[in-house]
Amino acid sequence: MREKDTAILLHIIARGKIGRSPEGDLLDRYAKRLTWPVKLTEWPDTGAGKVAEPMTPCRTVLLDERGKALPSEDFAAMLGRWRDEGVRETRFMLGAADGHSDAERANADLLLAFGPATWPHLMARAMLMEQLYRATTILAGHPYHRAG
């Protein structure tokens, strides 16, 4: 079976429109390189956002300042485990300026942080896309990631 046949849909759900910007260009650059399917859903900065209930096994990852900072190899291994367990979609949620609610945090499969610093939402979105690309190249044995 080919990698694309077993890949997880990487679904980024974010508040705000990235539009035409340097961050948007960076996001597009890594999205085009990904061999796994990727989808970007943008919600308004405020108000309710709704995404359809998953029809297949799904995991939810919230980008959150209280989350765990994972080394790239561990992040890749986690995606690989989920793929091997039959997960078909992983949703990466980027909240509004005030972050996520306690209920959202409690229902997430993982709270993920990019270290202790606070990052602008548009930059965090581009950083996430790069980490997704990096993780998939690690799983594929591609030389993009240089450990150590």
Residue ranges making up the domain that contains 100: 3-140
**Which residues touch 8 (CB under 8 Å, ≥6 apart)?**
36, 79, 82, 83, 87, 88, 89, 90
With a cut of 70, which residues of the chain have pLDDT below it? 1-5, 45-52, 148
Query: Is 93 part of a structural domain of the chain?
Result: yes
| Residue position matching structure tokens 């910007």 | 21
Question: What is the pLDDT at residue 131?
Answer: 96
Question: What is the pLDDT at residue 1?
Answer: 41
pLDDT tens figures, 66-103: 899 999 999 999 999 999 999 999 999 998 777 788 88
Query: Is 148 part of a structural domain of the chain?
Result: no
Query: Is 76 part of a structural domain of the chain?
Result: yes
Query: Is 147 part of a structural domain of the chain?
Result: no
Q: Which amino acid is at 33?
A: R
Question: What is the pLDDT at residue 119?
Answer: 85
24 labeled part of a ligand binding site:
no
| Residue position matching structure tokens 């300026």 | 97
Can you tell me the distance from the alpha carbon of 44 to that of 41, in angstroms, rounded to the nearest whole number? Answer: 10
The full DSSP string for 104-141 is: HHHH-SEEE-SSSS---HHHHHHHHHHHHHHHHHHHHT
95 labeled part of a ligand binding site:
yes
Number of Cβ within 10 Å of residue 45's Cβ equals 11
Query: Is 19 part of a structural domain of the chain?
Result: yes
Which CATH number characterizes residue 81's domain?
Answer: 3.40.1280.10
Query: Is 146 part of a structural domain of the chain?
Result: no
Question: What is the pLDDT at residue 126?
Answer: 92
Look at the chain and report how many structural domains it folds into: 1
Query: Is 128 part of a structural domain of the chain?
Result: yes
Q: Are 94 and 119 in contact, with CB atoms under 8 Å apart?
A: no
